[in-house]
Copies of this chain bind each other. A is one copy, B any other.
Amino acid sequence: MSSSCIIRHFEHYAELDQRDRELLDSLEKSPREFTRGTVIWQQGTESEHFYTVSSGWACSFRTMEDGSRQVLDLYVPGDIVGLREFAFRRRVSNLLTATNATLCPFPKHRLTDVFATSRLLCNLFFLIAARDQAILVERLINLGRRSAREKVAHFLLEMAHRLDKACVDVDDCNHLPLTQVVLADALGLSTVHVNRTLNELKQEGLTTLGPDGITLLDRNGLQDVAGFDPEYLEEDVTSLLKNIGARPPA
């Protein structure tokens, strides 16, 4: 009996009982594979499902009238994509695979069933939504109050940390399969400037640039550059579980 993406995801936070597992399992359609660069959904279309990322990377973004893009977030294995759309009928952003990836669709409107049936899952979903907000907040700060150098270093570190946690099936958490275009659109910079900044960091021995993405060589060095503090990625699941009388994962 192989467990579905979403079950694996939640077991990372807490021990699930049989009912929780069945509930989650009943909602998840079979995983779907996508090649790099596939548009999963587009802004303005009906928002029916969200997805869990089983492998690969995805990227949510918004396109502006003048054709420029703002990348809102990147998603790594284990992430849930699209909870944001819960409050809206139509999608507020686009979703694209940034590498080959396999995702599992999950019908949005049935989230209410989950809330009604499992206290634990309900709380965990809320926790995840709050964590998503914390990530957005940090990205906001990145865009608003940091230099290009800091932006790049900070963003790279965030993604590496998130990979650390995802760890399942990820071989090298220091390797990020990102193009400079994506990076630029995430950080509100031009590609050209990202390139120069990245080469600067490379000169200093902090990163490496390969054809298949960026590799972090010296996290401590980058941390100094960025003023990075991973606290915003460390949810306090323990208190929550204690509060609702649930048990931590085995």
Interface residues of A in 166-188 (CB under 8 A from B): 185-188
| In the complex, chain B residues whose CB is within 8 Å of the CB of A231 | 90, 92
1/0 per residue, CB under 8 A from B, across A127-155: the answer is 11111111011011101110000000000
Nearest B residue (CB) for A93: B137
A84 and B136 alpha carbons, distance in the complex (Å)? 11
| Residues 55-101 of A contacting B (Cβ, < 8 Å) | 62, 64-65, 68-70, 72, 83-90, 92-93
In the complex the two chains form, is A243's CB within 8 Å of B70's CB? no
Decide: A88 near B145, CB < 8 A? Known: A93-B137, A136-B136, A139-B140. Answer: no
B144 touches A87 (CB 8 A): no
Residue of A72, A90, A125 with most chain B CB atoms under a 10 A cut-off: A72
- What are 16 sample pairs from A and B whose C-beta atoms fall under 8 A apart? A62-B137, A64-B145, A65-B227, A70-B141, A72-B140, A83-B133, A84-B130, A84-B137, A87-B131, A87-B240, A88-B236, A109-B243, A112-B240, A126-B126, A139-B140, A140-B140
Besides A70-B144, A86-B127, 11 other CB < 8 A contacts? Answer: A64-B141, A84-B137, A87-B130, A88-B130, A88-B235, A115-B115, A116-B244, A129-B130, A129-B133, A143-B144, A143-B188
